[in-house]
């Protein structure tokens, strides 16, 4: 009997005594949610009526209908940030119904917010947040989930609402779109990727800064090619990358012995070439005016768009990857023939549903908890919505802040790794020693 009592009450009591003040608050909340679940479910409309026959011992006629209320079965677990509730779906109670009831649950449980996601068919996960890990900024230099040197095959994006690392697939990817309002974390997000990959000799960068300011000046030291907001210079850089793509396509079988460079992976002699175009819409905009200067600029915009479109469409198998950063990914900013061919999309805060749908697709409308419109609060600067590797639906990710001095120092220390991929290809194809 003592063992049974200890198993039922002793272990929770020990956990409660050992917990700190915040931990005790979470435990109390978890116990209350579990104890009052059936009543709460009825009040917020998360029950399912089921017709059953009357029990055999009652005198009620067997033909008289009897109904019972079914509430989803839940499992409750206390977490550092709040309470995790795993709920099994019942009848017509699915993801949409739980999402619609999220605000009511938050009020009933007296928590800041309830987030809902589907983790498996028939299993939903509710996060009753007493504190929100997504609002707690992390720095790249002290983020424990990020290495100082990243893997070219995947992008370690940051941490999710549970504090777990989140990755984005980059193997077999030729295009990435990163969109969001100005000042909400796009450039820092790209800087984190730069810091992860800069120490690798199997990666070469092409950096194009449409803002034209000093943001990338120090990073240019680690770039094979670079440009600011000079449209003609950008066009020339894109021509060089396009020429590399054509040369690699012509020589890939002879040099690597495969049709797809990802089958053997990037190497020092065949590096992954990452083309970062910040404020990409700058180079695709056409004025449509009739003066000579406008016509020249429009011609440059059309050619730049064509080159980028071909790099995204044809560069995958030769390990050329284009990353487009823009405030708005609608068709008037980034041509749809470019945007819609990019396999990876990331969105920071957006002001409209149209802008969010443009970058993430129509499915984001079915994920209100992960919708970029909810990220406009300043507490969510650095938080993005994305499709993460190995996860269903959309995931909100706290991306690490990268101080300028950190990125600049890494660029300086790795500047000696810059190589011309075209020269490396020529050396390999002629049998010369690099």
Binding site as annotated, residues for ATP? 180-187
What SS3 class is residue 163?
Answer: coil
Report how far residue 74's alpha carbon sits from residue 22's, in angstroms, rounded to the nearest whole number: 23
Give the dihedral of Cα atoms 104, 105, 107, 110; nearest 10 deg.
180
Binding site as annotated, residues? 180-187
| CA 370 vs CA 18, 116, 267, 280, 321: distances in Å | 35, 9, 36, 25, 26
| CA 131 vs CA 34, 38, 83, 275: distances in Å | 19, 25, 10, 38
Whose tokens are 């009052």? That residue is 36
Whose tokens are 């059953």? That residue is 52
How crowded is residue 73: how many other Cβ atoms within 10 Å of its Cβ? 11
Report how far residue 129's alpha carbon sits from residue 324's, in angstroms, rounded to the nearest whole number: 34
Question: Strand 320-326 vs strand 175-179: parallel, antiparallel, or unpaired?
Answer: parallel
Within a 13 Å sphere around the CA of 114, how many CA atoms are in the beta-carbon half? Answer: 21
Question: Strand 320-326 vs strand 272-278: parallel, antiparallel, or unpaired?
Answer: parallel
Report how far residue 299's alpha carbon sits from residue 158's, in angstroms, rounded to the nearest whole number: 39
For residues 148 and 316, is the Cβ–Cβ distance under 8 A? no
Report how far residue 105's alpha carbon sits from residue 419's, in angstroms, rounded to the nearest whole number: 57
């Amino acid at each position: 009997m003592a063992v049974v009592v200890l198993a039922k009450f002793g272990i929770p009591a020990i956990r409660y005594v050992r917990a700190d003040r915040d931990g005790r608050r979470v435990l109390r909340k978890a116990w209350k949610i579990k104890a009052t679940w059936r009543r709460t479910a009825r009040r917020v409309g998360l029950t399912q009526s089921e017709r059953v026959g009357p029990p055999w011992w009652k005198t009620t006629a067997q033909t008289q209908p009897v109904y019972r209320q079914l509430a989803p079965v839940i499992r409750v677990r206390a977490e550092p940030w709040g309470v995790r509730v795993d709920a099994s779906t019942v009848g017509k109670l699915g993801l949409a119904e739980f999402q619609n009831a999220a605000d009511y649950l938050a009020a009933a449980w007296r928590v800041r917010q309830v987030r809902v996601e589907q983790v498996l068919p028939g299993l939903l996960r509710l996060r009753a947040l007493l504190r929100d890990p997504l609002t707690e900024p992390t720095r790249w230099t002290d983020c424990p989930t990020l290495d100082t040197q990243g893997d070219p095959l995947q992008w370690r994006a940051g941490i999710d609402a549970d504090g777990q690392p989140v990755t984005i697939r980059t193997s077999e990817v030729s295009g990435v779109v990163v969109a969001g309002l100005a000042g909400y974390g796009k450039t820092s997000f790209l800087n984190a990727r730069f810091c992860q990959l800069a120490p690798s000799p199997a990666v070469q960068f092409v950096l194009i800064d449409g803002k034209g300011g000093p943001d990338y000046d120090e990073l240019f030291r680690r770039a094979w090619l670079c440009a600011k907001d000079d449209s003609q210079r950008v066009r020339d850089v894109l021509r060089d990358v396009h020429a590399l793509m054509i040369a690699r396509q012509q020589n890939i079988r002879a040099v690597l012995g495969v049709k797809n460079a990802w089958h053997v992976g990037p190497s020092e002699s065949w590096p992954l070439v990452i083309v970062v175009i910040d404020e990409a819409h700058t180079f695709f905009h056409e004025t449509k005016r009739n003066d000579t200067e406008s016509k020249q600029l429009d011609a440059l915009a059309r050619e730049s768009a064509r080159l980028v479109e071909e790099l995204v469409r044809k560069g995958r198998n030769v390990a050329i990857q284009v990353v487009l950063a823009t405030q708005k990914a609608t068709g008037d900013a980034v041509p749809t023939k470019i945007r819609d061919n990019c396999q990876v999309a990331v969105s920071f805060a957006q002001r409209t549903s149209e802008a969010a749908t443009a970058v993430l697709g129509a499915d984001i409308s079915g994920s209100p908890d992960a919708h970029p419109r909810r990220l406009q609060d300043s507490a969510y600067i650095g938080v993005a919505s994305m499709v993460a590797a190995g996860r269903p639906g959309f995931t909100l990710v706290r991306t690490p802040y990268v101080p300028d001095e950190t990125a600049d120092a890494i660029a300086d220390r790795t500047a000696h790794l810059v190589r011309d991929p075209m020269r490396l290809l020529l050396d390999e194809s002629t049998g010369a020693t690099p």
